[in-house]
Each structure stands twice: as structure tokens, then as C-alpha cells.
Structure 1
Amino acid sequence: MINFFRKIRQQLLEKNRFKKYIIYALGEIVLVVLGILIALQINNWNQNRLNAIYENKILKNLKKELVRNNELNEALVINRLDKKIESLKLAKKFCENEMIVKDTLEFLNTVSYGGVFSGGHIFGERNSYDELINTGNIQLINNDSIKNSIANYYGYLNAVKDRAQVHSSRFSSYTSELRPFDTENPNYISKFDQFEMLQSFNSPEFRKLVDLELSYAFKVRDYIKNVRTQGDQTINLIEKKLKNEL
């Protein structure tokens, strides 16, 4: 098409028809500009299509990570926290002389379970999110509600991990120091150690540790429930986006 216009312009120049020459020259320029604009539009369309495909991949990976975090905290923390709290409540009853120990070995093992997760560990993978932040690909998520929800989730997850460690007590180390722990026979406690543990459990120091560990357990349970709630909300937004409902 451009060659066609070029030949016409040459003929017009040879015939000294400058007005038509200018018109055809402008037509040639318009064609070139239109060609460039169409090419840019096609390129933009193709790039947007690729971005949409990659955005879906990003959201699917984030959803998997959020679901896994919720499952891990549910299976490894929440379910055990309830048992931990009951164990600590039993210890508190003993400290306040509200119970009589009938089976010493069972009682001591039950109370010792109160030290589970004393280290303030809350499960939360963030590999997919960190990769998005480090590469800048977080910007490919074009829905601000999802982007903000994801950022809030991981921000809160970091915060509760720090808080959990601050609130943890030395309950676990205290009970561990009173007896040797045999991984092959974890419930075994010698008669002498049983006597020593009961004596120690009657001390004011142990009572304070029980209260501290109970407070810690309640806080961690609330933290994890809030993490799970935020995770569920974010998962719901991602699912709607993947179904083109957002």
C-alpha cells in the first residue's frame, strides 16, 4: 500500500501536481501512523492477555499458601491448644487446692502437656507472597481489594508471630527441668521425680507460671483464629476473582 502511494506521488511530481502530491503524502503518513497504532494495540492486547494469565497463576499460588496455613494452624495448633488449656486449668486447680490427685503419673503428664507450643510458634508460610514482593509482580494483581487483603493478612501474620513469642513463658522449660524426657517412653516419670514435681507444683513460682502460660495460650488461640478469619476472607476474594465475579 505504501509503495502504491509512493508511485502515485512520483507521478504527481513529474506532472507538477503539488496539491495532490501533498494529499497523497499525508495519506501515506496517516497509513504509517495507523499501522503503528494497530501494532501497539495488538501488542498491548497480547500483553494484557499474558498478564491476566500470570495473575491467575499468582492468585492460585497464593490461595494454596493461605489454605495450607489455615490447615497447618488448625491441625497443629488449634486442636492442641484446647488440650493445652485444659491441662493448664487442671494445674491451676491443683495450685489452688481445688482437687485431689488420684493418679499421680497421669496428672503430671497431663500438666506437662501444658508446655506444648510454649515457644510461641505460629505456622505461616509466605514464600509465594515474598516472591511477589521481591519481583514486583504484586502489581499484576489488578484488584485493589484483593491486593489490600493479601497485604493485611501477611502483615497480621508477622505481627502475631512476634506477639506470641513476647507473651510466651518458661512453663515448658520449668517442667522439663524437673524430669528427664525419654522420647521412646515419653510418659515415664520415676517415683522420685514424681514426688519432686508435686512439691514444685505447690510453689508460688509454678502458680505464676501457670497463669502466665494460660494467658499466653488464650492469646495465641485468639491470634490464630483471627489469622484464619483473615485468611478465609482473602481466599473468598481470590475465588471470586478466579470465577470472574470481581
Structure 2
Amino acid sequence: MLTDLPDGKAGNKFSKYLIYAIGEIVLVIIGILIALQINNWNINQSNINESSEFVNRLKAEITSNIGFTNEEIKRKENQKRSSLAILKMFNKDITKLSSRTFDSLVNICMANGNMEFKNGTLSEGLNTGKVALIKSDSLKSLLYGLPSLVEEVRIGEKYFNDDLNEYFYPFIYEHISFRQMDAVHSNYAEQIGPSKFSNHNNLNVLNILKFESLIDNIFYNSNIQIDNYLKLKNELENLYELIQEHN
């Protein structure tokens, strides 16, 4: 036993035990620190890989949405041109106007618009915190703000479509012969045949104030939506550029 040894030898042996114990503790601490460092490295590497995979999927989604936005801008530009062409027909002799051209323009003005927009990857990133893993603050800021901008576009689309559905369609159902239009412009012209109201002239609506106001609304709302889509497109293109830099 330690108490049976002379004081000098007992002290030396105790010192050896103490040094050994301290050494063991130091080794354990070093082992823990190394393990923590390795674990942190693994977590960071996992986060980097997960962030990189997410950003690549996000890049593909944004590319698709830029294409969808361009398509909708083209449709709204066509609607804008068509409504303006009809506005220029007012105060003219309708006997000198082409009924076929007029019907075609009205048909274009009738189109409702809801832009296709993919947001599955972005929603996943916002809901799971993957957006927070992105190092670029500028990129994160744009991603966090994108849903609000898309919502602004959707509100504009709803306003445009509601105006068509509640006011424009009821008016043209009453004053314009769809059968005359379809007999000329549709793929089912032979089956439909000519209108039984052959004396009706769709161009007569050019003498009605309400029709002028409705067409003016389509022209005005088309311009508003084009601005909304261009704003969204610009934001998407900025996102794409930042993602390119991030990669």
C-alpha cells in the first residue's frame, strides 16, 4: 500500500500517478476536440453539398420561370397590340373595315392569362431552411423576396381576368356573334356552318361607348401586366446571375 512506503517514495509514486492521470485526461480532451472538429467538418461539408445541390435545382427552376415569363409577356404584348388596333377602328366607317380582322382582334383580346410558374424548389428551400445555408446575402435576400413579387403578379392577373369575365364576356355574348367568328376562325367551321343571324354585323359594337371602354381597359390592364412581368423577369435574371456567381 502507498501508506506503507517511505514518504519520499510515496510522494514520487503519487506524482507519477498524477502525471499519468493528467496525461490521460489531456488525451481524452484532445480526442474529444478532434472528434468535434471532424464532426463539424462533416456537418459543414454536408451543408455545402446540400446547398450546392439545392442551388443547382433552383437554377433550373429559375431558368424555366424566365421562359414562362417571356411567353406571358409575348401574349400580353399581342393583347395590347390587338386592343389598340380595335381602339383605332372607332370613329371610322365600318363598311370599310374588315369584319374578319375585327373578329380576330376580339378573339385575341378575350384571352385570360395565368402565367405558369414553378416554385417547388424555392418553397422547399424556404420551408426547410436550405435558403439560409446559402452564403451569399444578396442571393438570399432576392430569394426571400421572390414570393411577394410573384404574389403581386398574381393579383394583377386576377384583376385582369375578373374584368374580362365579369364585364367583357357578358357584353360580347350579347353583342357579338361567336358563330360568325367560329365559322371563319375555328377548326370546326364546316360543322358549325354560317350564323342564322346573317344580317348581324359584329362591327356594330364600334358604335357603342361601353365597348370602347371595355377595350380601353384591356389595353390599360395589358400594359400594367407587362410591367409586372418585366419586373419579375428582371428579378429572375438577377437571381440567375447571382447563382452563377455562387457556383
Given that 1:122 and 1:224 are in contact with CA atoms closer than 8 Å, whether structure 2 keeps it comes out as no
Q: Out of 38-47 and 100-109, give the one that drifted further.
A: 100-109
Q: Closer, same or farther in 2 for the Cα pair 1:194/1:224, shift >3 Å?
A: farther
1:175 aligns with 2:153: no
Identify the residue that residue 246 of structure 2 maps to in structure 1: 241
Q: Closer, same or farther in 2 for the Cα pair 1:194/1:239, shift >3 Å?
A: farther
Q: Distance in 1 between matches of 2:202 and 2:58?
A: 47
1:203 aligns with 2:199: no
Q: Distance in 1 between matches of 2:194 and 2:145?
A: 46
- Aligned partner of residue 195 in structure 1, secondary structure: coil
- Quote how far apart the aligned CAs of 1:56 are: 0.8
- Quote how far apart the aligned CAs of 1:194 are: 8.0
Identify the residue that residue 55 of structure 1 maps to in structure 2: 51
Q: Out of 30-39 and 176-185, give the one that drifted further.
A: 176-185
Alignment partner for residue 121 of structure 1, among 91, 99, 114? 114
Q: Distance in 1 between matches of 2:104 and 2:172?
A: 10
Q: Distance in 2 between matches of 1:231 and 1:74?
A: 11
Alignment partner for residue 85 of structure 1, among 80, 85, 106? 80
Equivalent positions of 1:93-172 (< 5 A) are 93-97=88-92, 101-117=96-112, 120-168=113-161, 169-170=163-164, 171-172=168-169
Q: TM-score, normalised by structure 2?
A: 0.81
Identify the residue that residue 34 of structure 2 maps to in structure 1: 38
Equivalent positions of 1:197-236 (< 5 A) are 197-236=202-241
Identify the residue that residue 6 of structure 2 maps to in structure 1: none
1:116-140 deviations in whole A, cap 9, x for unaligned? 23xx412321111112223233322
Gaps of 5+ in 1: 1-14
Q: Distance in 1 between matches of 2:188 and 2:150?
A: 36
Amino acid at match of 1:184: N
Q: Distance in 1 between matches of 2:100 and 2:193?
A: 8
Give the number of aligned pairs.
225
- Aligned partner of residue 213 in structure 1, secondary structure: helix
- Aligned partner of residue 132 in structure 2, secondary structure: helix
- Aligned partner of residue 125 in structure 1, secondary structure: coil
- Aligned partner of residue 192 in structure 1, secondary structure: coil
- Quote how far apart the aligned CAs of 1:197 are: 2.3
- Quote how far apart the aligned CAs of 1:209 are: 0.5
1:122-162 deviations in whole A, cap 9, x for unaligned? 23211111122232333222322111111222320122111
- Quote how far apart the aligned CAs of 1:58 are: 0.6
Given that 1:66 and 1:235 are in contact with CA atoms closer than 8 Å, whether structure 2 keeps it comes out as yes
Identify the residue that residue 6 of structure 1 maps to in structure 2: none
Identify the residue that residue 3 of structure 2 maps to in structure 1: none
Which structure's relative contact order is higher, taking Cα pairs within 8 Å and 6+ residues apart? 2
Q: Closer, same or farther in 2 for the Cα pair 1:163/1:82, shift >3 Å?
A: closer
CA RMSD of aligned residues (A): 2.6
Q: Closer, same or farther in 2 for the Cα pair 1:193/1:230, shift >3 Å?
A: farther
Q: Distance in 2 between matches of 1:80 and 1:204?
A: 26
**Percent of matched pairs sharing the same residue:** 28
